[in-house]
Chains A and B, each alone.
Chain A
Amino acid sequence: MLEIRCPYCGNRSQNEFAYGGDATIKRPELNTEVTDQEWDNFVYYRKNPRGNHLELWHHISGCRQWFKVHRNTATHEILKTLEMKENL
């Protein structure tokens, strides 16, 4: 069980959160030509690294805010949590 520090509410149990995927993925720009490969990469392809990873989490049973978690996927250590507008 992880203890995750919500940037708004403080430390809470993982039970209150939902995982939201890779936080480094960017949607292709609107109103531009997008190749099938670029769209494929956006929708399906993920790196799944062993080590530090920037993730999206949702405090679904708390303040219902989305935020970023910098987490080590091997040790599960949470290095930092950030509001959506913040960058590492």
Chain B
Amino acid sequence: MKRNSPLKNLHQTGLYGNYKNQNENDLLVIREITNLKIFQIVQYKSSTLNIDSLKLDGLSFPVHAGFVEASDTTRVQWNAPNTWIIISSNENIIDDIIKNFHENDFAITDQSHSRAIIQIEGKKALDVIKKGSPLNLNDFKKNNCANSIYHGITISIDMLDDDLNKFNIMALRSFTGSFHHAITDAALEFGYKGL
């Protein structure tokens, strides 16, 4: 089922802010990421199952805070102790989850409709995040993630690429308007391209 974009009536394409006298290829890029499957998987306290023995889409589950296991289609984020967020472009990922993660050991929640994801990419992406979040991003590397806040909005930051400075930032859908406004407002200083 196609999901309604949370930013459909907000996010616009084009050049904005201080983009003049800059090479368009060097500009910060802001885009909405839609049509992904998002699941939260929580292992019950009573479960004695060793999470190392489980794989999803060929990916193991990170047991250390702030790490992501990633393939071309799926990302498994550490979210909290015994809690992971699965973000996947594989429409049938739920079949794999149900097959591998038994309901006696895991609580599985579909959050595909309840999150908005904004992707920012470019040299100034870190500066845009730093303008609104107290998270220390100096040691952030590819496939690191963290939950934090952005202008008071709870967010999840996932670094997709440290060469391109590419981040997916996820917030609750009901905060989409304020979240998008805060991100784009912070980006105006540097100039950005909305895609």
Contact = CB atoms under 8 A, between A and B. Distances in A.
Interface of A: 8-13, 15-16, 60-65
Chain B contact residues, majority secondary structure: strand
B135 A10 contact: no
Contacts of B81: 8, 63, 65
13 contacts: A8-B80, A9-B146, A10-B66, A12-B134, A16-B134, A16-B147, A16-B148, A60-B154, A61-B149, A62-B148, A63-B65, A63-B79, A65-B80
Contacts of B148: 12, 16, 61-62
Chain A contact residues, majority secondary structure: loop
Nearest to A83: B81
A15 B147 contact: no
Contacts of B147: 9, 16, 61-63
Given A61-B147, A63-B79, A63-B81, A9 B134 contact: no
B154 A12 contact: no
A65 B45 CA distance: 13
A61 B136 CA distance: 15
A41 to B, nearest CB: 30
Contacts of B146: 9, 62
Contacts of B65: 8-10, 63
A3 B146 CA distance: 16
Contact of A15 (B66, B80, B134): B134
B154 A61 contact: yes
B136 A11 contact: yes
Interface in B133-162: 134-136, 146-149, 154
Interface in B40-77: 65-66
Contacts of A65: 80-81
Nearest to B64: A8
Contacts of A10: 65-66
Given A9-B66, A16-B148, A16-B149, A63 B80 contact: yes
Given A8-B65, A12-B135, A13-B135, A64 B149 contact: no
B152 to A, nearest CB: 8
A62 B134 CA distance: 12
